Every structure is written in structure tokens, then in C-alpha cells.
Amino acid sequence: MLETIIISDEDIFQQVKLSCLIPTMIEGIVGRQIVKQFAINKAITTETHELQQAADDLRRLNKLYSADETWAWLQKYHLSVDEFEELAATTVLSSKLAQHLFADQVEPYFLEHQLDCTRVVMYEIVLDDEDLAIELSYALQEGEINFYQAAHQYIQDPELRRRGGYRGILRRSELKPDISVAVFSAQPPQILKPIVTAQGAHLILVEELLPAELTQELRYEILSKLFGEWLKQQMEQVEVLTCPNAELAHTSNAIAQPVH
């Protein structure tokens, strides 16, 4: 039985290759270099307070609430303090570059896709038996049972059952087309007739339809989407060169030349 295993950088890289993660790694490297190059071209820099905020956000995201937890996390992922700061800096540069390129496009995008941003507050029960769904639908319409009672009786998933079938606040794009059409044509509060899909027969209570609203969260989501699409386009236009005589350099020395 092995008592000690020594793992080298080459071992790690070989495992990355065997795990078929090289394309993902190269994509990350190229993306980071494109952000850095465009930030330089646009004279976008990072301020100390921005880096501190990004570092704090990273710690909160990873539930690192103490210095000991932070050190343990860095050791787990083999990151130095300087590399953690580089991660924070890349986050700040990406955010500022996204703002620089697309801040004025968020509202036009929202207006163009406003219909897709309409939301619904809904509850759902999915049954395998269509006949049972029809029978239960009649019982709900006649008031013989309410939706909450039906959810507790027929939903198998414990968490969803506890919520009475509550699916949350969903956008049109988060629903299958046939369900979306019925849901957003409803007159809330309304229980829809069973909708049959490959997943089963859906009984849906449409509690409320919410008009599209450009919240801060949605603004950030649109900005991220526009920036992500732009970055993907940039990555498709660059030539990536690697060092043929040093395998490890494939992941550390990829050269990306952004197209302006």
C-alpha cells in the first residue's frame, strides 16, 4: 500500500490532458488575455478599493468568513496571495470593460426583449397519469380541494411539496414554449387545464403576472450576456500559438492577439 504520493506539476498537467480539459483551460487563458489587452487599449485600470471589494466579494461567494478559512481555501486550490489578487483584478477589469463597452446598450436590449423579461408567479404539480391530472383539475376547479392540499398529496419531491408546488418567479424564457404560451395567456389567479409534455401532465396555478422591470439584477445579467457574447466573438478571431517543445507551456504561454 502506498504511504506517500508525490505529485509534480507535470503530473497535474497530464491529468488535465487525460480529463480532456485542455480546450477549457486554453479558452480561459485566451479570454483573460483578451480582457487585459482591451483594458490596456481602453486605458482601463483598477483602483485599490475596487480590488479590495472584488476580493471581499470572492470571499463571500466562497463562504470564507475568516482568515483561517481563506488560507485553507487558498491551499486547497494551490493559490498564492498574489494569484488570489490577480483573480480579483481580472474580475474588476472584466466588469469595467463590460461597462465601458455595453453600459449604453443595456436599456435598448431590455426594450427589445421586454416580452421575454415578463415574469410569472406560479405553482406546479406534475403527474405521470394524465387521467388523474384531468380528474384533479376538475376537483380544483370545483373547489373540492385547493392547490396547496393537492401539492402535498401528489408531489413526490419533499422540498417542492413543502413549498406547496411553488416554482418561484419565472421568466418566459425559463418555461417550455407550450407551457409558456398557456401561462402568459392566463388571467391570474387561474388554474390552467392540464398541459401534457414529455415530463408528464402539468397542473399549474398562475398566481400573478409581473411586468418586465429593469432591476439592478437584470441590468447586470444583460450586461454579462452582452459581454460574454462579445468575448466569445473575440476569441473566435484570435490566433492561439503554443510552445511545441514544452507541454506545460501549452497552458501557461498561449499567445492571443485580439482583433480590434
CATH topology of domain 119-210: Chitinase A; domain 3 (3.10.50)
Q: In this predicted structure, what is the pLDDT of residue 256?
A: 46
The per-residue pLDDT for range 203-243, each reduced to its tens digit, is: 999 999 999 889 999 999 999 999 999 999 999 998 887 76
- Tell me if 130 sits within 8 A of 136, measured CB to CB: no
Q: In this predicted structure, what is the pLDDT of residue 37?
A: 94
| Nearest alpha-carbon partner for 253 in 5, 92, 13, 7 | 13
Q: In terms of C-beta distances under 8 Å and separation of at least 24 residues, what long-range contacts does 213-219 make, across chains too? A: 213/117, 214/106, 214/107, 214/110, 218/110, 218/117, 219/106, 219/110
Percentage above 70 pLDDT, the chain: 92
Q: 1: pLDDT confidence band, cut at 50, 70 and 90?
A: low
* pTM as predicted: 0.74
Alpha carbons 10 and 227: distance in angstroms, whole number = 34
Tell me how many degrees the CA angle 186-190-196 measures, rounded to the nearest 5. Answer: 75
CB atoms within 10 A of CB 28: 13
Interhelix angle 216-236/22-41, rounded to 10 degrees, is 100
Q: In this predicted structure, what is the pLDDT of residue 173?
A: 85
Q: What are phi and psi of 197, to 5 degrees?
A: -130, -175
The residue count for the chain = 260
Q: In this predicted structure, what is the pLDDT of residue 116?
A: 87
Q: 247: pLDDT confidence band, cut at 50, 70 and 90?
A: very low
**What are the boundaries of each domain within the chain?**
9-108+216-256, 119-210
Q: In this predicted structure, what is the pLDDT of residue 243?
A: 66
Region 232-257: mean pLDDT is 64
Q: In this predicted structure, what is the pLDDT of residue 238?
A: 86
Q: In this predicted structure, what is the pLDDT of residue 222?
A: 95
pLDDT surpasses 70 at 244: no
Q: 248: pLDDT confidence band, cut at 50, 70 and 90?
A: very low
What is the rounded average pLDDT for all residues in the chain?
A: 90
Burial 124-142 (b: 16+ CB within 10 A, else e): bbbbeeeeebbebbeebee
pLDDT surpasses 90 at 72: yes
Region 40-50: mean pLDDT is 95
pLDDT surpasses 80 at 146: yes
pLDDT surpasses 70 at 259: no
Region 51-65: mean pLDDT is 95
Region 79-88: mean pLDDT is 95
pLDDT surpasses 70 at 119: yes
Q: In this predicted structure, what is the pLDDT of residue 254?
A: 45
- Tell me if 58 sits within 8 A of 88, measured CB to CB: yes
Q: What are phi and psi of 168, to 5 degrees?
A: 100, -165
Q: Is 63 left (phi over 0), alpha (psi -120 to 50) or beta?
A: left
Exposed/middle/buried for residue 156 (C-beta within 10 Å: 0-12, 13-18, 19+): exposed
Alpha carbons 258 and 191: distance in angstroms, whole number = 53
Find residue 209's DSSP bridge partners. Answer: 120
